Structure 1
Amino acid sequence: MSDQQSRVAGPPTKHQLALMIWLCVFPTLTVINVTLSDWLAPMSAVLRTFVLATIAVPIVIYGLMPQLHKVRVRILTIRSNS
């Protein structure tokens, strides 16, 4: 990310960050739930939640959120240059 893009975009607001997290977390949990539904079914709700969070959090934090931040910066940079 260039210095100019950083200045244009700045950090996300609380509302933008909440939306970005939701956009990453909901589909990730849905895919994991559907994919592992047979394996997760016999587990208690607490254990199932622990397994889902253990798988989903690294995917969201290290895989999806950085990509979504880049998309956000590109969108804001394009808007500011228009």
Structure 2
Amino acid sequence: MTTITTPAAVTATPAAMPSVHRRALITWLAVYPTITLALALLGPEMGGLPVFVKTLILTVIVVPVSAYLLVPLLMKANQRLAVWARR
């Protein structure tokens, strides 16, 4: 007879995902300020470019910053807030 053991981290239940509405809010909280900042900084330099080029430039900046930096940070903050609120 073979006994299989697994680490506690693997068997622990993952933290509950926030609702789709909360995830949408978190995404918006990451994207809106990033777009606003990018437009404020780059808007004058992009003045004469066609709108599809402006959109390309903005999305090349905003999507990675939001997806890889801001949304994960906001999700962690949301999780900490949820734990704190349960106390």
Equivalent residue number for residue 72 of structure 2: 66
SS of the aligned residue for 1:11 comes to: coil
CA distance in 1, matches of 2:25, 2:40: 23
Alignment length, in residue pairs? 77
Work out the percentage of aligned pairs sharing the same amino acid.
29
Which protein, 1 or 2, shows the higher relative CO under an 8 Å CA cutoff with sep ≥ 6?
1
Shift of 1:43: 0.9
Match of 1:37 in 2: 43
CA distance in 2, matches of 1:30, 1:67: 19
Q: Distance in 2 between matches of 1:37 and 1:46?
A: 14
* Aligned partner letter, 1:38: P
Gap regions ≥5 residues in structure 1: none
Query: Paired residue for 1:56?
Result: 62
Relative to its length, the structure with more helix (as a share) is: 1
Note if 1:19 corresponds to 2:7: no
Two-structure CA RMSD over aligned residues (Å): 1.6
- Secondary structure, aligned partner of 2:44: helix
Q: Which structure is larger by alpha-carbon Rg, 1 or 2? A: 2
Give the TM-score normalised by structure 1.
0.85
Structure 2 alignment gaps of length 5 or more: 1-8
Q: TM-score, normalised by structure 2?
A: 0.81
SS in 2 for 1:33: helix
